[in-house]
A = this chain, B = another copy of it.
Amino acid sequence: MPPLPDLDAIRAAHARIAPHVHRTPVLTCRSIDAETGARLYFKCENLQKVGAFKARGATNAVFSLTEAEARHGVVTHSSGNHGAALAYAAARRGIPVWVVMPDNAPKVKQDNVRRFGATIRFCAPTVAAREAACADIERETGAALIHPFDDERVIAGQGTAVVELLDDAPDLDVVIAPVGGGGLLSGTAIAAKALRSAVRVFGAEPANADDAARSFVSGRVEPLPSTTTIADGLRTTLSARTLAAIRAHVDAIGTAREAAIVRAMRMTWERMKIVIEPSSAVPLACLLERTLEASGARIGIILTGGNVDLDRLPWQV
């Protein structure tokens, strides 16, 4: 069984990354509360460094390396936000970084990586191709692989967001996080249940990429049905590690249709005046579709990121 962090490890991560990441605000919006029949507390990781919660996990991993390990740099494969986060964290520590990226990754995410001085290596958009490219770089350079989610240090870093959320809004009944590879949901569930045993923790994912919901039921890592969802950050399967954490600590996983994700995204922009990417909108979409039922509850939602191509908004297609 691959190791998972506990609350102590998540607290240690929080102290380690604090000088390098934002303590993001928690925002509320009465008019969205009225749409959902609940009281919502939005943890704004779209306002985080590099525009995504991924800054937390990547920074914890990079600053957990020994001097000897760090000297050779770090490498990862990522559809974008983890790549940018690793590039940011490596720049903060002053070490080299390579990012393997599918050649169809959105330009805004490529730019996000390059701006921190990372070297991008493009590959075909398949798991096999990106893992092979990563292994090549590890061999060539001695760089340490920092996996986007299947890594104890990354999971501990992602778990720090809910520590802050429960500090600002201690009486939550429910916490909801989107689930792609499951790093955020694992860290969130471990931390939230340890801090507040009565809290329910839900995952949220696109119906078009409902592998986590099916894995949660079957107990096996189920394959991704397709990659047609606009929530591009969630086109990933779980790992054995994140599935174990989720089965142990998560209460349910809801799914949302594409139209509901777009509606929730636009509603968040219009009512809350913040830019979120489609993945961030999936928890609210599940509440609007009532695939997660939480009427009257105090619900914390982790808004995971805000990296969007402003020339191609989903309601303008």
Spell out A's residues near B (CB within 8 Å).
25, 27, 31, 46-47, 51, 108, 115, 266, 269-270, 272-276, 306, 310-311, 313, 315-316
Report Cα–Cα, A306/B270, bound state, in Å. Answer: 8
Which listed residue (B51, B115, B273, B311) contacts A306, Cβ 8 A? Answer: B273
Q: Which residue of B lies closest to A276 (CB)?
A: B273
27 contacts between A and B (CB under 8 A): A25-B25, A27-B47, A31-B115, A46-B273, A47-B272, A47-B273, A47-B274, A51-B273, A108-B270, A266-B310, A269-B275, A269-B310, A270-B275, A270-B310, A273-B274, A273-B275, A273-B276, A273-B306, A274-B274, A274-B275, A275-B275, A310-B313, A310-B315, A311-B315, A311-B316, A313-B313, A316-B316
With A270-B275, A274-B274, A310-B315 already in contact, 8 other A-B pairs whose C-beta atoms are closer than 8 Å: A27-B47, A266-B310, A269-B275, A270-B310, A273-B306, A274-B275, A311-B315, A316-B316
Q: Which residues of B contact A276 (CB under 8 A)?
A: 273
Q: Which residue of B lies closest to A108 (CB)?
A: B270
Q: Which residue of B lies closest to A46 (CB)?
A: B273
Instruction: Give the distance to chain B from A89, nearest Cβ to Cβ, in Å.
Output: 14
Report Cα–Cα, A188/B31, bound state, in Å. Answer: 29
Q: Which residue of B lies closest to A274 (CB)?
A: B274
5 cross-chain pairs, A with B, having the tightest CB-CB distances, nearest first: A273-B306, A273-B275, A25-B25, A46-B273, A274-B274
Report Cα–Cα, A315/B266, bound state, in Å. Answer: 18
Report Cα–Cα, A273/B108, bound state, in Å. Answer: 13
Instruction: Give the distance to chain B from A24, nearest Cβ to Cβ, in Å.
Output: 9
Q: Which residue of B lies closest to A312 (CB)?
A: B316
Q: Which residue of B lies closest to A111 (CB)?
A: B270
